[in-house]
Structure 1
């Protein structure tokens, strides 16, 4: 599979909410970066270091546990591919579970694909807004 094929399949699996099948696309170990706040924050437990497929599946489960999947309006505006690297640009649009508080954040996702597996997953988003929204809810 090409880099674009793997990225499109990854996005499809994430959208379908099949966390274990999503994790199957990741290499072991994974170079993962979604690390602000680096020391962790109780309102956003999914924002922490990850290194394995089990960690990846847990990440997406935790996101789902804190958000209403049916109200997810996340959109991808562009996928740029250069060899093994891909950048996905878009906007996160989530609703906090139990609080009906919606928020949006632009994002950029830098992926590297090697031998059909995602070896790098670095996402850049407005984590401060995400943490503030979730802190207000708790």
Structure 2
């Protein structure tokens, strides 16, 4: 079974490549997923609980944003839990505005799958960039 470290690194690699099939394969069939923010302006935010909903998340995100840059600063592993910190710059396609934000991703890995996922970012800046 893959280690927490390898799953986190594999996830980040597939995310950078926008490889949706491989990303989704890393998640368990039931997921405790939450990215807080203004779901009325950014419908990709919010809670998700299945692989189908994870697919919908990435499809919405990628249809509405253009990545400018992303830098991972640290990856912390504690048993089956991981935290990834960094910063990103993204352009909102509907407005052309850019968002610069720090981020933290928290993941829990069980039986070789990501079962809990939290992304914390400057959700206010995302909402403002979509206004």
- Give TM-score scaled by structure 2 length: 0.93
CA distance in 1, matches of 2:51, 2:23: 9
Q: Residue 120 of structure 1 is aligned with which of 116, 120, 126?
A: 116
Conserved in 1, the CA contact under 8 Å of 2:95 and 2:130? Answer: no
| Runs of 4+ with >2 A deviation | none
| Match of residue 86 from structure 2 | 90
Q: Residue 68 of structure 1 is aligned with which of 61, 66, 79?
A: 66
Aligned length: 130
| Match of residue 42 from structure 2 | 44
Structure 1 unaligned spans of 5+: none
- Bigger fraction of residues in strand: 2
| Match of residue 24 from structure 2 | 23
- Give TM-score scaled by structure 1 length: 0.88
CA distance in 2, matches of 1:3, 1:109: 14
Deviates further, 126-135 or 28-37: 28-37
CA distance in 1, matches of 2:70, 2:48: 22
Would you say 1:99 and 2:95 are equivalent positions? yes
CA distance in 2, matches of 1:125, 1:45: 15
How many angstroms does 1:98 deviate by? 4.7
- Note the aligned Cα RMSD (angstroms): 1.3
How many angstroms does 1:60 deviate by? 1.1
Structure 2 unaligned spans of 5+: none
Helix, strand or coil for the counterpart of 1:107?
Answer: strand
Deviations, residues 25-74 of structure 1 (Å, cap 9, x unaligned) = 1012101111323xx31x201012100111111111111111124xx301
